[in-house]
Amino acid sequence: MTATESLRTGAGLDGELLRDLYQRMLLTRQLDLEFVTMQRQGVLLGYAPLRGQEAAQVGSGAVVDRARDFVFPTYREVGVAVAMDVDVVGYMATHLGVWNGGAYDPIASRFGAVNAVVAGSVLHAVGWAKGEKLTGSDGVALAYFGDGASSQGDVHEAMNFAGVDRLPVVFFCQNNGWAISVPTARQVAGGSVSARAAGYGFPGVRVDGNDVEAVYLATQEAFARARAGEGPTVIEAMTYRSGPHSTSDDPGRYRELVEENSWIERDPITRLALRLREEHAADEAYFEGALAEARAATESIRTGITETVGRPAEEMFDLVFANRPTTLDQQRDLWRAAAEGEERGDD
């Protein structure tokens, strides 16, 4: 099988689906802005903004069948969570630091916990896909990773393994131009992540990641192939991280404002709004209603997060080992003594 390389422009989604995708992209944008603010206010410990990547995330996440597929996100996939109706309040508990891995149920929601290990999601997805094949199930794993992650050895091993076994997995790379301060050109030899698929014996496609329809159609096609037993696909969604890498980052130290501004013209939400207007698929009343709805949902999620009650800290010692080693018991006792001392106000 040969890899195909094309910058697709989509065609064919109906107005109702496009409006639904728009609504979710808008909610994602509102949430993203809110979470950055909440981190600045000291409510969230940290957050990785996805501004500019809404089409790539919502367009791909919307294809997932929540009855049988499973998504393996990184640390930047709030848009995918929104596309899949994941409980965002519970999911954000990780960012509050109040629960080990999030208070939502990853198994029931089919959306894995935050994974901060670069490329870790890709290995997990392939392992899960192998399980599906062994049990004769028809679920598809969707692995998110970045352009930076694509230069990790783990991704090579995972893709080769998946290619040899023709596993039901979709490798979804968001090429957002940067891996923290390192531009794609300095880490992706050959210039294309999708082209690498040829070496593993399955197709790779490059899509305009700011065109939600193109993303949706490419993902749908990849899922159909995987479900039919035809193996993996690499999708490389070309997009841009408009904000900082994380709330601890200052992109002004490594890139020019003119570059950031050039991507504002390619903003995926503005672009979809323009199309909906041009095709008379939405009127002004719709856009006003969509914004009001996104703002109300954001407010309610904000309230939910601020009202989230922490779990007993002692649980951090309980959830790692089935049979806790005595060394961990000793650490727990030390921690308890220190915590009690803190409560009394000891130095």
| Active site residue ranges | 241, 245, 254
245 lines the binding site for ligand TPP (CB under 6 A): yes
Q: What is the smallest separation between the CB atom of 152 and ligand TPP, expressed in angstroms?
A: 7
Under 8 Å between Cβ of 109 and 77: no
Longest dimension (CA), the chain: 68
Task: Map residues 145-184 to x or -, x wherever contact with ligand TPP holds by CB under 6 A.
Answer: -xxxx--------------------------x-xxx----
Alpha-carbon distance of 51 to 39, in angstroms, equals 15
Q: What is the smallest separation between the CB atom of 30 and Mg ion, expressed in angstroms?
A: 23
Residue closer to ligand TPP, measured from CB, 50 or 162: 50
Angstrom CA distances, 223 to 79, 142, 254, 307, stand at 19, 9, 37, 38
Choose among ligand TPP, Mg ion, none what residue 124 binds, the Cβ cut-off being 5 to 8 Å by kind: none
81 lines the binding site for ligand TPP (CB under 6 A): no
Choose among ligand TPP, Mg ion, none what residue 149 binds, the Cβ cut-off being 5 to 8 Å by kind: ligand TPP
Q: What is the smallest separation between the CB atom of 291 and ligand TPP, expressed in angstroms?
A: 27
Q: What is the smallest separation between the CB atom of 117 and ligand TPP, expressed in angstroms?
A: 5
Choose among ligand TPP, Mg ion, none what residue 208 binds, the Cβ cut-off being 5 to 8 Å by kind: none
Q: What is the smallest separation between the CB atom of 88 and Mg ion, expressed in angstroms?
A: 23
Among 124, 139, 105, CA closest to 226: 139
The correct pick among 118, 159, 205, 282 for binding ligand TPP (CB under 6 A) is 118
Q: Which residues contact 313 (CB under 8 A, 6 or more apart)?
A: 335, 339
Provide the sign of the torsion angle of the four alpha carbons 219, 225, 229, 230, taken in this order: negative
Q: Which residues contact 251 (CB under 8 A, 6 or more apart)?
A: 178, 181, 243, 244, 245, 260
Under 8 Å between Cβ of 225 and 140: no
Q: Which stretch binds Mg ion (CB under 5 A): 19-27, 172-180, 282-290, 326-334?
A: 172-180
Residue closer to ligand TPP, measured from CB, 23 or 239: 239
- Count CA within 13 A, CB hemisphere, residue 253: 8
Provide the sign of the torsion angle of the four alpha carbons 13, 15, 16, 17, taken in this order: positive
Report the amino acid identity of residue 286. Y
163 lines the binding site for Mg ion (CB under 5 A): no
Window 123 to 162, contacts with Mg ion (CB under 5 A): 146-148
Residue closer to Mg ion, measured from CB, 61 or 163: 61
Q: Interface residues with Mg ion (CB under 5 A)?
A: 146-148, 176, 179
